[in-house]
Amino acid sequence: SRPILDMSYSRHFLDFQGSSIPSSMKKLVVTKLSQNFREAVTLQQDSPVPLPGDGDLLVRNRFVGINASDVNYSAGRYDASVKPPFDIGFEGVGEVVALGLSASANHTVGQAVAYVKAGSFAEYTVVPASHAVSLPSVKPEFLTLMVSGATAYLSLKELGDLSEGNKVLVTAAAGGTGQFAVQLAKKAKCHVIGTCSSDEKGGFLKSIGCDRTINYKTENVESVLRKDYPEGVDVVYESVGGKMFDLALNALAIKGRLIIIGFIAGYQNPTGLQPIKAELLPAKLLKKSASVRGFFLNHYLSDYKMALQHLLKMYERGDLVCEVDFGDMSPEGKFTGLESVFRAVDYMYMGKNIGKIVVELPHSVNSKL
């Protein structure tokens, strides 16, 4: 089908503010498989701007999200069949600047959209119209919901079996997805405990409803849980792995549920793992009739749009805090431009962030007409 914008004439290939879409762009590409993001990924300066097909949108990215799994992806841990070079970055928010004929049924040039698709660490990304979520405006807060918010919502809904009065432990609670697990568990009238690494993070957690914060730099998590919750916790939302996984497992109550959404403590290791006391797992689960369940967002895509619409409505009503961390407090300042994605990934693994780490991609609009 002939696209709505005639791609053969660059003068017709205009964005909605009247500036020409360039023929080349910057993007990040995995050129070598490695758990060291800086070694694995290369910033390419002159990649061709992709052209949207009949059912596609060309999105000019304004904000892109940083995820712990970016390191797993660049290490080739998700799909062994994918060989370098390949694009990276999982989520973006921006404006539609061109689109195909079929895509124009529900989208227009100038529309704000968000999406989850590999290849967001680029100035422009082609997104199937069916994958795009229309937004009222281009705001970084919407980006926090795409992967982090949806992961918290769907995992707790499908696997948490939350009921009023449950005790819920959230590890890395002040992080990108932890902030949503805390708030959603509170909305379910649960008692929420959150682990974090600083008093500043503890203050943030209290501000979003956390009942008990544990700063693991100054408090012994195991001792606190044993003393304050002698009968254990009903649900754990676990994203750290290693020793924290072992502590969380030991803290489970009778019929407790431990949901694994990640194990960031090990991602930068060659194996991607931190050791756990796995040989004790069967006995511990049996003794408590407890369960350990894994959650990977890709397996719940049939419920994804429903989850996202629910979260967007909550945010628009003022019922959900979507904390964004642009790295303003990092040594070199705010994460601006694709070059700063490397710093942003380092910042996340140093455990410095409060909320979701987001990189802004500024675009100067210079009319060439």
Q: Which two tokens stand for residue 61?
A: 């990215």
* 50 prior amide bond cis, ω within 30: no
> Taking Cα atoms as reference points, which of 124, 92, 127, 90 lies closest to residue 106?
127
CA 282 from chain centre, in angstroms, equals: 31
- State how far the Cα of 255 lies from the Cα of 234, in Å rounded to an integer: 7
The CATH number, out of the four listed (3.90.870.10, 3.40.190.10, 3.40.50.720, 3.90.550.10), of the domain defined by the range 146-299: 3.40.50.720
Q: Report the interhelical angle of 281-288 vs 243-250 (nearest 10°).
A: 30
124 within 8 A of 25, measured Cβ to Cβ: yes
- Which pairs count as long-range contacts for 291-294, CB under 8 Å and 24+ apart, including other chains? 291/256, 291/257, 291/258, 292/249, 292/258, 292/260, 293/159, 293/257, 293/258, 293/259, 293/260, 294/259, 294/260
Q: What pLDDT sits at residue 204? A: 98
Q: What pLDDT sits at residue 277? A: 93
Within the chain, all domains assigned CATH 3.40.50.720 are found at 146-299
- Thinking of the domain 24-138+323-360, which architecture would CATH place it in? Alpha-Beta Complex (3.90)
pLDDT tens per residue across all 369 residues of the chain: 444 454 443 333 444 454 568 889 999 999 999 999 999 999 999 999 998 888 999 999 999 999 999 999 999 999 889 899 999 999 999 999 888 888 888 998 889 999 999 999 999 999 999 999 999 999 999 999 999 999 999 999 999 999 999 999 999 999 999 999 999 999 999 999 999 999 999 999 999 999 999 999 999 999 999 999 999 999 999 999 999 999 999 999 999 999 999 999 999 999 999 999 999 999 999 999 999 999 999 999 999 999 999 999 999 999 999 999 999 999 999 999 999 999 999 999 999 999 999 999 997 544 333
Q: What pLDDT sits at residue 315? A: 97
Task: Enter the pTM of the model.
Answer: 0.93
Within the chain, all domains assigned CATH 3.90.180.10 are found at 24-138+323-360
